[in-house]
Amino acid sequence: MLSGKTALVTGSTSGIGLGIAKALARQGANIVLNGFGDVEGPKAEVAALGVKVAYHGADMSKPAEIEEMMKYAAAQFGRVDILVNNAGIQHVARIEDFPPERWDAIIAINLSSAFHATRLALPAMKAANWGRIINVASVHGLVASAEKSAYVAAKHGIVGLTKVTALENATTGVTCNAICPGWVLTPLVQKQVDAKAQANGWSNEEATRALLGEKEPSLQFTTPEELGELAVFFCSPAANNVRGVAWNMDGGWAAQ
């Protein structure tokens, strides 16, 4: 379905981003990966799906590096047809104890990076009259949790940015939508499970169930593969008129 298209997925060397990149690659899209840590492993996983894969290590907190990444993607594959803004970090603390530098970093990476990548991707998408911008928000873009002020603020901002982007391009072939996962077992979430296990003397299984039981009625994690399939749907002809939605895959979290 996506043969000849190019997808750039930020924060895609592991977790949700890699899951989405692989789902798009299975549909034939060439992939530009971005992120930290192991790079060769994820590149090999995507290449094994029979598409071309490139990598750019832009620090998503730095607009100049985002600009270089977008130029690199265009040089490699012509243009970015599908932009998935997924890069994100987390810090947990009460507002009065929240380090200002952590607030600034979370807003920069979780929110501002999506703005910068979007503004740079839009001209080529509009010229081609086809583009898909998919913002990975969170159920925290719809509801809040204590001690996550910066993350919740950024993800609410992502949902708002999604709506504005969709409206500004409503009469074109460029769509913008947001995915709002609940708990997904990524390295970021595993750290929270480990902390809960250590604090309470629980096994990993007990801590996992306690974590899910606080918020998610289904008591099961959403998987990167499921999120990837939703991204594929947003890129399909069936989603041509799906614009500005914040689609939660959260096991019933926001339904409560």
Active-site residue numbers? 151
Q: Which long-range contacts (CB under 8 A, 24 or more apart) does 39-44 make?
A: 39/13, 42/12, 42/13, 42/14, 42/18
As given in the structure block, the two tokens for residue 144 are: 């809040």
The total of other beta-carbon atoms located within 10 Å of residue 8's CB is 30
For residues 222 and 218, give the distance between their C-alpha atoms in angstroms, rounded to a whole number: 10
Q: Is the dihedral of CA 246, 130, 233, 56 positive or negative?
A: negative
Identity at 119, one-letter amino acid code: R
The total of other beta-carbon atoms located within 10 Å of residue 185's CB is 17
Identity at 80, one-letter amino acid code: V
Estimate to the nearest angstrom the gap between the alpha carbon of 61 and the chain centroid: 15
